[in-house]
């Protein structure tokens, strides 16, 4: 292997890619796009109709008048006129609708169907809001009738949480939140790996195909060995990927922070303030501030000295393993795009399966499937990072690391064998049988 | 310069090169000829160390061929291409660096060549903005810029207009005069006769003919002569002559071995025929090529 050539190839791959317009725009526009998406979806969420619906209430119980309060979206007026008159008044635009609450047969009745007369649809949100307001009003009415006050009601409620405690002396103390946070961190890590394998693997495949179809390989091959070109390309594209990720790691949080800051005002004007009001009455929510400190504590208490280096290891291992496979497939594909699909499928399949196993592993990180998948080198780069926050047993980490190193070595070797034959072969459709021959034929 | 000795290359389903041997003289322009699929490209790929022979050996200047020799070799494949998105200057510098030049050295040499071709203003153009002929020139520069001792051109003129083809042809003969050994792979025989001194003919993985172009032509001559005359020539004057064709005041005849062509000429002059030209017809390479390939193929 000629290191000078590999360096030259890496430099060319890196410089031509990083200076290309598509890279610059992709690096800038992806975070901007994510920010825009957040902003647009946030904007749409806040854009509920702020119009106040005037609703005539016809209450057969004659009991709700003092319990049903107006809100930002509804103005209730209790009427005694017959339903038909009220309906007409809806037609005359005096009201937006008529709410008819039928008589409760007895105080025990736990289910009631109220009727809302209007030609205008209420919409999901208003409909839910209306039913919850009516429910609350009925509850107040029932409490009054049964002579129960709010205090008594609060006494009945008991909030329960389960706190896991380790038995082993050196076990770490953890709260219920630990697994939630571990799942969130693990999910993000696993997903980043999935994207990396997909995006940059495909980038390598396309670039190999381009070299082959543009017939540049024959020229390059008369100066460098196929393995040098393959390694140079993988390292070059890998460096491009790291550069892009580094930009995104800075740009995306900055843009998201900017968006949430810009939207801060809009969120407080959301019509569902009643919900937040309710939350404020909830003692659990009042403890929210301490919860945030608890989350921070939980995140800090994870063993980052182990997780971060391992994440980098799986990042590199997964990238090299799949990049070499994609390079091999790219070399075997001719000018035929249809052919590329049948040949890329065997590589995409393990990536996709790994993603599903990763998601299942988040729910049950110590299942047999999750354990074995995090040792199997085709799955481990995606599954294991997701499990790291769950503190898997040491033997599994060691087994996984060793098998990934062996896996990278094996698949790179296999790919190199396919690559050096495929890259110089033109105008021939390549079958799997032939790929097998290239792998194990020494010529 | 190059010794090919019993070189064999087998692919999974066919024998591409079968015990080919030849010796290329130093400083020669050699034609590597053969019909499509004869094994020329496979042979060239072995000479450029892109692939390795299954058996046999290749000597480069007397040494067994190794990777260091590719720095002294320039190869312009028939299937050629460039990175479309790269700028011409950067592209050429990159290729020259892969051939062992430093960046500075590469730049200087490339500028020299681009100046020579009057294309310095292409330096910052992207390859994809050039026409096919222009790209061919770039490709040519990339092949010769590191001053290789051995140059290999595979169908170098395909896709070039006559003016550019001549330009390249002149540059090649210039390089030849400066001492480079050159291999021409082609199936266009008129180019062989025009350019090459030495030729190797390959068919179905075997070499069936090797030698200096002059000698090969002599070996395959059929003792045919052509006479052009003006005026009348009575049939009786041609008695005893093995005439092959006779039309439009041109006679082509065959002279049996041992007879001297001068006697025939003398006889005709004495008979008062006005001779305008007299020459021996040597077979064209095209004829030799077709003849040999057909013979060789039918023998198998």
Residues A368-407 have pLDDT tens digits of: 999 999 999 999 998 998 888 888 889 999 999 999 999 9
In this complex, is the C-beta atom of B99 within 8 Å of any C-beta atom belonging to chain A?
Answer: yes
Q: Give the model confidence (pLDDT) of A229-280 as tens digits.
A: 999 999 999 999 889 888 888 888 888 888 877 776 544 444 444 444 455 5
C-beta atoms of A16 and B12 within 8 A: no
Query: B98: which chain A residues are within 8 Å (Cβ-Cβ)?
Result: 5, 8, 220, 223-224
> Is A164 part of a structural domain of the chain?
no
Q: Do A336 and A419 fall into the same domain?
A: yes
| Residue B145: per-residue pLDDT | 93
The alpha carbon of residue A268 and the mean position of all alpha carbons in its chain are separated, in whole angstroms, by 25
Closest-CA distance of chain A to residue B7, Å? 14
Judge contact between A388 and A310, C-beta under 8 A.
Answer: yes
Judge contact between A375 and A396, C-beta under 8 A.
Answer: yes
Distance, first Cα to last Cα, chain A: 19
In this complex, is the C-beta atom of B79 within 8 Å of any C-beta atom belonging to chain A?
Answer: yes
Q: Residues 175-234, chain B: which have Cβ within 8 Å of A? A: none
CATH superfamily of B2-218: P-loop containing nucleotide triphosphate hydrolases (3.40.50.300)
Q: Do A150 and A212 fall into the same domain?
A: no
In this prediction the ipTM stands at: 0.82
Nearest CA in chain A to B13: A434
User: Could you tell me which of B188, B187, B158, B9 has the C-alpha nearest to residue B78?
Assistant: B158
Q: Do A35 and A61 fall into the same domain?
A: no
Distance between CA A139 and CA A133 in Å, rounded? 10
| CA B224-B263-B287 angle, 5° bins | 5
Q: Give the model confidence (pLDDT) of B47-62 as tens digits.
A: 988 888 989 999 999 8
Judge contact between A218 and B86, C-beta under 8 A.
Answer: no
Radius of gyration over alpha carbons of chain B, in Å? 24
User: Could you tell me which of A237, A324, A326, A229 has the C-alpha nearest to residue A8?
Assistant: A229
| Residue A172: per-residue pLDDT | 55
Q: Which residue has the higher pLDDT, B183 or A280?
A: B183
Q: Do A195 and A337 fall into the same domain?
A: yes
Closest-CA distance of chain A to residue B78, Å? 9
Q: Domain boundaries in chain B?
A: 2-218, 222-281
C-beta atoms of B73 and A222 within 8 A: yes
The total number of structural domains that make up chain A: 2
Q: Which residues contact B18 (CB under 8 A, 6 or more apart)?
A: B8, B39, B204, B205, B206
Q: What are phi and psi of B89, to 5 degrees?
A: -60, -50
In this complex, is the C-beta atom of B136 within 8 Å of any C-beta atom belonging to chain A?
Answer: no
Q: Do A152 and A197 fall into the same domain?
A: no
> Is A76 part of a structural domain of the chain?
yes
- Beta strand spans in A74-191 (E): 74-78, 97-101, 115-117
Domain that holds residue A380: 3-40+179-440
Mean pLDDT of A220-225: 88
Q: Which residue has the higher pLDDT, B265 or A14?
A: A14
Judge contact between A374 and A384, C-beta under 8 A.
Answer: yes
Would strands B242-247 and B250-254 be described as parallel, antiparallel, or unpaired?
antiparallel
Q: Give the model confidence (pLDDT) of B217-270 as tens digits.
A: 888 888 889 989 888 877 777 777 888 888 888 889 888 887 888 888 888 888
CATH superfamily of B222-281: Alpha-L RNA-binding motif (3.30.70.1560)
Q: Which of A156, A189, A217 is the last residue of a domain?
A: A156
Mean pLDDT of A137-153: 86
| Residue A289: per-residue pLDDT | 56
Which residue of A4, A218, A427 to mutate against B (max B Cβ within 10 Å)? A218
Residue B210: pLDDT over 60:
yes
Distance between CA A379 and CA B170 in Å, rounded? 59
What percentage of chain B exceeds 70 in pLDDT? 99
Q: What region, left, alpha or beta, does residue B204 occupy, with left being phi > 0 and alpha being psi -120 to 50 degrees?
A: left
Among A67-71, A418-422, B95-99, which is the least confidently predicted range?
A67-71
Average pLDDT, chain B: 88
SS3 of residue B239 by DSSP: coil
Which residue of B65, B74, B77, B98 to mutate against A (max A Cβ within 10 Å)? B98
Among A87-101, A233-247, A332-346, which is the least confidently predicted range?
A332-346
Q: Do A187 and A333 fall into the same domain?
A: yes
Residue A321: pLDDT over 50:
yes
C-beta atoms of B98 and A223 within 8 A: yes
Considering only the beta carbons, identify the residue of B54, B73, B80 that sits closest to A443: B54
Q: Which residues of A touch B (CB under 8 A)?
A: 2, 5, 8, 12, 16, 20, 211, 214-216, 218-225, 424, 426, 434, 437, 441, 443
Alpha carbons within 13 angstroms on the beta-carbon side of residue B178 total 12
Distance between CA B228 and CA B250 in Å, rounded? 5
Eight-class DSSP state of A48 = -
Radius of gyration over alpha carbons of chain A, in Å? 32
Query: A443: which chain B residues are within 8 Å (Cβ-Cβ)?
Result: 10-11, 54
Judge contact between B64 and B73, C-beta under 8 A.
Answer: no
| Residue A174: per-residue pLDDT | 56
Q: For residue B207, what is the enclosing H or E element?
A: strand B206-212
C-beta atoms of A2 and B142 within 8 A: no
Query: B11: which chain A residues are within 8 Å (Cβ-Cβ)?
Result: 443
Q: Which residue has the higher pLDDT, A419 or B231?
A: A419
Size of interface A-B (CB pairs under 8 A): 64
Distance between CA A124 and CA B298 in Å, rounded? 86
C-beta atoms of A8 and B85 within 8 A: no
> Is A46 part of a structural domain of the chain?
no
| Residue A322: per-residue pLDDT | 92
Q: Give the model confidence (pLDDT) of B10-57 as tens digits.
A: 887 788 888 999 999 999 999 998 888 888 888 998 998 888 898 999
Among A33-37, A222-226, A427-431, B103-107, which is the least confidently predicted range?
A427-431
Judge contact between A240 and A17, C-beta under 8 A.
Answer: yes
Average pLDDT, chain A: 82
């Amino acid at each position: 292997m000629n290191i000078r050539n590999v360096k030259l190839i890496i430099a060319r791959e890196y410089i031509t890619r990083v200076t290309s317009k598509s890279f610059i725009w992709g690096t800038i526009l992806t975070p901007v796009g994510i920010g825009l998406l957040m902003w647009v979806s946030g904007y749409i969420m806040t854009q509920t109709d702020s119009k106040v619906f005037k609703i005539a209430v016809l209450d057969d119980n004659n009991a709700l008048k003092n319990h049903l309060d107006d809100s930002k979206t509804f103005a209730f007026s209790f009427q005694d006129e017959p339903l038909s008159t009220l309906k007409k008044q809806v037609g005359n635009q005096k009201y937006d609708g008529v709410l008819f609450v039928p008589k409760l047969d007895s105080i025990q009745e736990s289910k009631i169907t109220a009727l809302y007369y209007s030609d205008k649809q209420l919409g999901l949100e208003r409909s839910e809001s209306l039913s919850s307001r009516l429910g609350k009003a009925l509850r107040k009415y029932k409490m009054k009738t049964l002579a129960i006050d709010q205090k008594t009601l609060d006494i009945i409620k008991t909030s329960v949480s389960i706190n896991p405690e380790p038995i082993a002396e050196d076990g770490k103390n953890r709260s219920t939140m630990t697994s939630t946070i571990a799942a969130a961190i693990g999910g993000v890590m696993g997903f980043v790996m999935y994207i990396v394998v997909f995006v940059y693997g495909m980038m390598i495949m396309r670039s190999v195909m381009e070299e082959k179809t543009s017939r540049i390989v024959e020229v390059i091959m008369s100066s460098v060995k196929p393995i040098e070109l393959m390694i140079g390309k993988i390292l070059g594209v890998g460096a491009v990927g790291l550069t892009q990720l580094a930009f995104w790691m800075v740009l995306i949080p900055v843009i998201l922070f900017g968006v949430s800051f810009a939207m801060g005002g809009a969120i407080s004007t959301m019509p569902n303030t009643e919900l937040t009001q309710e939350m404020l009455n909830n003692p659990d929510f009042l403890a929210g501030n301490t919860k945030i400190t608890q989350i921070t504590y939980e995140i800090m208490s994870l063993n980052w000295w182990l997780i971060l280096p391992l994440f980098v290891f799986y990042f590199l291992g997964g990238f090299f393993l799949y990049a070499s496979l994609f390079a091999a497939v790219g070399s075997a594909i001719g000018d035929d795009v249809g052919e590329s699909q049948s040949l890329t499928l065997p590589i995409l399949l393990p990536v996709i399966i790994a993603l599903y196993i990763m998601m299942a592993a988040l729910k049950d990180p110590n299942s047999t499937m999750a354990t074995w998948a995090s040792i199997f080198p085709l799955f481990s780069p995606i599954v294991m990072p997701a499990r790291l926050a769950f503190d898997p047993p040491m033997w599994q980490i060691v087994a996984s690391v060793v098998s990934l190193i062996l896996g990278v070595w094996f698949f790179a070797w296999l790919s190199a064998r396919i690559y050096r034959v495929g890259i110089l072969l033109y105008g021939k459709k390549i079958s799997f049988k032939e790929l097998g021959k290239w792998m194990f034929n020494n010529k | 310069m190059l010794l090919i000795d019993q070189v064999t290359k087998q692919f999974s389903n066919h024998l591409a090169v079968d015990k080919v041997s030849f010796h290329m003289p130093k400083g020669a322009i050699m034609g590597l000829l053969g019909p499509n699929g004869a094994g020329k490209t496979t042979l060239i790929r072995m000479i450029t160390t892109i692939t390795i022979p299954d058996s046999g050996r290749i000597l480069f200047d007397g040494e067994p061929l190794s990777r260091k020799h590719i720095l002294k070799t320039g190869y312009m494949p028939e299937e050629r291409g460039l990175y479309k998105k790269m700028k011409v200057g950067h592209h050429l510098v990159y290729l020259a660096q892969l051939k062992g030049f430093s960046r500075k050295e590469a730049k200087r040499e490339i500028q020299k060549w681009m100046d020579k071709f009057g294309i310095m203003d292409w330096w910052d153009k992207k390859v994809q903005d050039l026409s096919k002929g222009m790209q061919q020139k770039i490709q040519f520069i990339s092949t010769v810029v590191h001053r290789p001792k051995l140059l290999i051109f595979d169908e170098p003129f395909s896709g070039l207009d006559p003016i550019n083809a001549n330009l390249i042809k002149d540059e090649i003969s210039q390089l030849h005069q400066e001492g480079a050994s050159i291999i021409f792979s082609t199936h266009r025989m008129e180019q062989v006769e025009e350019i090459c001194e030495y030729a190797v003919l390959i068919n179905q993985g075997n070499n069936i003919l090797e030698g200096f172009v002059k000698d090969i032509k002599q070996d395959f001559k059929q003792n045919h002569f052509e006479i052009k005359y003006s005026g009348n020539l009575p049939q009786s004057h041609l008695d005893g002559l093995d005439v092959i064709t006779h039309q439009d005041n041109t006679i082509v005849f065959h002279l049996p071995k041992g007879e001297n062509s001068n006697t025939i000429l003398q006889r005709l002059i004495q008979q008062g025929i006005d001779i305008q030209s007299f020459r021996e017809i040597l077979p064209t390479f095209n004829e030799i090529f077709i003849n040999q390939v057909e013979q060789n193929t039918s023998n198998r």
